[in-house]
Copies of this chain bind each other. A is one copy, B any other.
Amino acid sequence: MNIAIYGYGNLGRGVECAVAAAPDMSLVGIFTRRDPATVHPHTDVPVYHASDLLNYKDKIDVLIICGGSATDLPEMTPALARDFNVVDSFDTHADIPAHFARVNTAAAEGGNIALISAGWDPGMFSVNRLYASAILPDGKDYTFWGRGVSQGHSDAVRRIEGVLDARQYTVPVPEALDAVRAGNKPELSTREKHTRECYVVAAEGADLARIEREIKTMPKYFSDYDTTVNFITMEELKRDHMGIPHGGCVIRTGETGWDHENKHVIEYKLTLDSNPEFTSSVLVAYARAIHKMHARGMNGCYTVFDVAPADLSPLSPEELRAKML
């Protein structure tokens, strides 16, 4: 199975590594909108300019699109799905139906298959929400994120005047997690579910009180949360906060029995040292799946909901039944 990468940032680097770990895949190229001479992959895979992509159409089974959801993917995925089987990690939940429709039209017209919104949320968390709700229809589910770095919130802090650099961690509230796991089905406000921790490097002489106030009162990003702001040195930031960990959990609690007398808790939990590398690993597994599905004659757009688990594995159905069932 020949894979190509479109876009070489954190996610693209993760895909390069994940494809190398896959026994049934080869990486045939990295395509970039930058000058290819400025892109240095970890392996000796060739780097091409994005404008050359169509020349390699016959050599690519699946193109993994590693762009951002804000502006890249809404354009890229429909455009590329006309000529390639594609996987993306589009993660703007509210816009998924519109993105799906555009990609579905393009992929179907090209006779290609596309899988959108792979990763962990959307992605593995979504799959677990679906399984749990299908099994326990009489129940309630919760998603908690963290402890982990939110890139968007870190960026928002960095835009404040006097801030040289910053990291923001999203942290689930332990009492909320406990109440959910106990099956109490609490109604939780935004503030009750997560707290936000900021580590900020301020410019010399900057007004720290103003920076802290601007962070804590920032609408959407921080004002609905209990936020703590820690000012640290650039050295401390580089020593303690260079990783991109993340994770979280999806929990559904529900009841069975004629009097709802039996409680059940289903929990799916991720603890990830590297958010982009884990996301990349999911993208690569779904690239394998859509390659198999396309070989069975399937076209158009799909999501993680439409993929049978067996298609994600390099093992045969016989091996899977013998070893993993």
- A72 and B317 CA atoms in complex are apart in Å by 25
Is A295 interfacial (CB-CB < 8 Å)? no
Give the chain B neighbours of A282 by CB distance below 8 A. 135
Instruction: Pick from A45-53, A59-67, A302-310 the stretch touching chain B.
Output: A302-310
Residues of B contacting A137 with CB < 8 Å? 21-23, 314
A236 to B212, CA, bound (A): 59
What are the interface flags for A280-315 relative to B under an 8 Å C-beta threshold, 1 for contact and 0 otherwise? 111001001000000000000001111111101110
Give bound CA distance, A264 to B307, whole Å: 23
Answer whether residue A204 sits at the interface, using C-beta atoms and an 8 A cutoff.
Answer: no
- Name which of A92-100, A151-159, A223-231 contacts chain B: A92-100
A17-B258, A313-B133 known; A268 vs B268 contact (CB < 8 Å): yes
A131: CB under 8 A from chain B?
Answer: yes
Contact call A310/B320, Cβ cutoff below 8 A? no
Known: A256-B14, A304-B309, A325-B122. A262 touches B274 (CB 8 A): yes
Complex Cα gap A238–B248 (Å): 40
Asked if A39 lies at the interface with its beta carbon under 8 angstroms from chain B, I say: no
Contact with B along A245-288 (1 / 0, CB 8 A): 00000000000111001111111111111100110111001001
Contact between A305 and B281 (Cβ–Cβ < 8 Å)?
no
> Does B266 lie within 8 Å of A273, measured CB to CB?
no
A137 to B122, CA, bound (A): 21
The smallest beta-carbon distance between A287 and chain B, in angstroms, is 11
Docked-complex contact A308 and B307, CB < 8 angstroms: yes
**Inter-chain contact A317/B306, CB cutoff 8 Å:** yes
* A183 CB → nearest B CB, Å: 9
Decide: A277 near B305, CB < 8 A? Known: A127-B131, A325-B126: no
**When the two chains form their complex, are residues A273 and B262 in contact, meaning their CB atoms are under 8 A apart?**
yes
Q: Is A239 an interface residue (CB 8 A)?
A: no
Known: A136-B281, A268-B268. A257 touches B308 (CB 8 A): no
Known contacts A130-B320, A265-B271, then 15 further A-B pairs from the complex at CB < 8 Å, ordered by chain A residue: A17-B256, A18-B256, A96-B322, A130-B313, A135-B278, A256-B274, A262-B273, A264-B278, A267-B268, A267-B270, A267-B271, A303-B321, A304-B325, A305-B324, A307-B308
Q: 7 A-B pairs, CB-CB below 8 angstroms?
A: A22-B137, A124-B266, A130-B312, A135-B281, A137-B314, A266-B270, A305-B320
